[in-house]
């Protein structure tokens, strides 16, 4: 897939804002949990927000649902080695963002993610165990979304937020129920909130560059050591952040659907 009028692959950065967002900048939460389908999804969709909050003292936790085993176009690739590489890349990316929390990998098979009570049990447990004030996740209501993992990751996250807050769901957990105060849905169909990531967008790019296995398939970098290609990737990410923030009067932004009635 390419950008309109370009032979470069379209970066998975979500939509641009077409109007000013009515809500700008949450107070820095004490803790946050991002629930993402694949390694690198969190960095693409909310890396700047996570970096900003981490600097301000928020404990950032990552919960990655799949193993990333289909993140290559090489039919002969050693997928077991790729899974291990992507695990290590996600750990490095989280640390680049300043995360001092957990990086949890549930290792569901990439491309085969399905909502289930078993998976809801696991995700609800980690919501309870990490006690986030804010949960960030895929917007499952986005229309015409092709990737099934992104759709299903959104439903799993929302169903698990409901389960985590109620003591009658999964009472076997050894941690207390927990109700987050806020949901931020990325790739949002109808965004209404922006986080100003001015000053933190370079950290977002640096975290994305930790995902070296995705340079060719996702980042549009054919040669990992080609400085100009890496810088072009940086420019494209920063340009998207600038377009996301322009309507709201911020230099760089990330946009979300804000839900507070939890």
Work out the average pLDDT over 70-79: 94
pLDDT at 57 over 70: yes
User: pLDDT > 90: what percent of the chain?
Assistant: 89
Least confident of 4-18, 181-195, 201-215: 4-18
5-9, 106-110, 159-163: least confident range: 5-9
Three-class SS state of 257: strand
Which DSSP string corresponds to 126-154? HHHHH--SEEEEE-TT-TT---HHHHHHH
Q: What confidence score (pLDDT) does residue 5 get?
A: 42
pLDDT 10s digits, 134-176:
999 999 999 988 899 999 999 999 999 999 999 999 999 999 9
Across the chain, what does the average pLDDT equal?
A: 95
pLDDT at 8 over 80: no
Using the 8-state DSSP alphabet, how is residue 109 labeled? P
Q: What is the dihedral of CA 64, 14, 213, 149, to 10 degrees?
A: 40
The Cα–Cα gap between 132 and 182 comes to 9
* Type and span of the H or E element at 88: helix 79-96
pLDDT, tens digit (0-9, with 9 covering 90-100), for 119-131: 999 999 999 999 9
pLDDT for residue 1: 36
Q: From edge to edge, which strands make up the β-sheet containing 134-138?
A: 23-24, 193-196, 253-259, 182-186, 134-138, 31-36, 59-66, 103-108
pTM for the structure as a whole: 0.95
Q: Determine the Cα–Cα distance for residues 245 and 178; give it in Å rounded to an integer.
A: 33
The domains located in the chain, with CATH, are 27-259 (3.40.50.10320)
106 has pLDDT over 80: yes
pLDDT surpasses 80 at 111: yes
């Amino acid at each position: 897939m390419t950008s309109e009028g370009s032979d470069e692959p379209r970066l998975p950065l979500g939509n641009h804002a077409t109007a000013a967002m009515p809500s700008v900048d949450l107070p820095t939460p004490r803790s946050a949990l991002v629930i993402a389908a694949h390694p690198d999804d969190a960095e693409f969709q909310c890396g700047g927000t996570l970096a900003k909050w981490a600097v301000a003292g928020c404990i950032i936790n990552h919960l990655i649902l799949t193993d990333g085993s289909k993140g290559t176009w090489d039919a002969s690739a050693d997928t077991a080695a790729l899974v291990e590489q992507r695990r290590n890349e996600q750990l490095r990316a989280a640390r680049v963002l300043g995360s001092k929390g957990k990086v949890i990998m549930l290792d569901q098979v990439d491309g085969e993610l399905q909502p289930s009570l078993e998976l809801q049990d696991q995700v609800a447990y980690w919501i309870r165990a990490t006690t986030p004030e804010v949960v960030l996740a895929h917007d499952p209501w986005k229309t015409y979304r092709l990737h099934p993992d992104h759709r299903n990751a959104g439903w799993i996250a929302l169903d698990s937020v409901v389960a985590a807050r109620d003591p009658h769901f999964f009472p076997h957990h050894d941690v207390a129920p927990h109700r987050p105060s806020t949901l931020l849905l990325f790739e949002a169909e109808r965004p209404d909130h922006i986080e100003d990531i001015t000053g933190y967008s370079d950290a977002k790019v640096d975290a994305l560059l930790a995902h070296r296995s995705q340079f060719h398939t996702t980042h549009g970098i054919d040669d990992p050591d080609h400085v100009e290609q890496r810088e072009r990737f940086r420019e494209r990410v920063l340009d998207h952040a600038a377009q996301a923030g322009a309507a709201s009067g911020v230099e760089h932004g990330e946009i979300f659907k804000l839900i507070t009635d939890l």
